Structure 1
Amino acid sequence: MQPQKATVRPIQRFASAVSKCSAESAAYGKCILADYNSVHKDLCAKEFMRLKDCYSLAAKKA
């Protein structure tokens, strides 16, 4: 009989992905913070897309 694979909860997978994207998170945070009084759609789109791509890639590997 084979041991059962442990179930990974979605929040655990997300936490693991977030921990691997600290540089992208910092870049996005700095971009938002630079002009936080007038945040609008697509203000930091480039940084957000890098962060999103990093999360997606890290989540697939987890």
Structure 2
Amino acid sequence: MAANGVLWSRVRSRLRAFPERLAACGDEAAAYGRCVQASTAPGGRLSRDLCAHEFQALRSCFAAAAKKTLGGP
């Protein structure tokens, strides 16, 4: 049972660090948000893959943040 407690302790510490890591993705999140907002504004048309470039940049940033949080390189 003690090993299970150690595992959850590590998981909790990683989860606590994750918001700080994601804060580094603010520029990518803002760019994606602007793209979606512009395409849903009056007269705009949201369609599949319209903001794909911005989404991919945000996704890559999230993946890098997760890798750092998990103790990767």
TM-score normalised per structure 2:
0.64
The answer as to 2:54 corresponding to 1:50 is no
* Per-residue Cα deviation, 1:24-61 (whole angstroms, up to 9, x for no partner): 00000001111115211101000000000000011100
Higher relative contact order (CA 8 A, sep 6+): 1
The structure where helix makes up a greater share of residues is 2
Tell me the matched-pair count: 59
Q: In angstroms, what is the RMSD of aligned CA positions? A: 2.4
The answer as to 2:20 corresponding to 1:23 is no
Structure 1 residues not aligned, in runs of 5+: none
The answer as to 2:11 corresponding to 1:8 is yes
**Aligned-pair identity (%):** 39
2:64 and 2:29 mapped to 1: Cα distance? 14
Distance 1:42 1:14, change over 3 A: farther
TM-score normalised per structure 1:
0.73
1:26 and 1:17 mapped to 2: Cα distance? 16
Greater C-alpha radius of gyration = 2
The runs of 4+ residues in structure 1 deviating greater than 3 Å are 9-14
Structure 2 residues not aligned, in runs of 5+: 1-5
* Maintained 8 Å contact 1:13/1:59: no
